[in-house]
Amino acid sequence: MYLPDKRASLDAINKLSGPKRIHLHVLRELSGSTISSYFLNDFKLVSTDAEFRSLINEVGSVGAIYSALPRVYKGDVFWIDWEPGKGLSVTRNGNLMAQGLFTPYLATHNSELMYQIFLRIYAGAAVPEELRRNLLGQSTSMSSSAQAER
């Protein structure tokens, strides 16, 4: 995660002002429809029923973006950015992915909540503890330098 200041919890990250980025490196090849399905399942897992209902249009837009991808390849890089005043954007390998409500930013009044749920998906309670600790900067056991030392 890229933040203006280091934070050790999702609550603290959500309280930060300014832009925030989730940087994802794809580790295996998948179809866009598979990623869309994973996203929907993960979203339902980490959101409340009320959040899911309030974000149904945004969820549909993200699902459509992922479903429109024929394949995602090992090594692809995704950025999920939150920019105050602009909203949420998704970039793949440096190319902005605009579709549906994302034209080019998801700028609905719910876009910040959408970003918070993305944070829960990738660094929340359902994520393995060691991965979450690495993402929050509390551990470096998964860094490339730590891997090289093994």
What's the average model confidence in pLDDT over 107-113?
85
Cα 127 from Cα 146, distance rounded (Å): 20
**What is the reported pLDDT for 146?**
47
On whether the CB atoms of residues 65 and 99 are closer than 8 A, the answer is yes
**Average pLDDT value over all residues in the chain:** 84
pTM for this predicted structure: 0.78
In order of start, what are the domains of the chain with their CATH numbers? Answer: 10-139 (3.50.70)
Nearest CA to 50 out of 106, 107, 102, 113 is that of 113
Q: How far is CA 41 from its chain centroid?
A: 14
The pLDDT tens digits of the residues spanning 116-150 come to: 898 899 888 888 888 888 877 778 887 754 444 44
Cα 137 from Cα 79, distance rounded (Å): 18
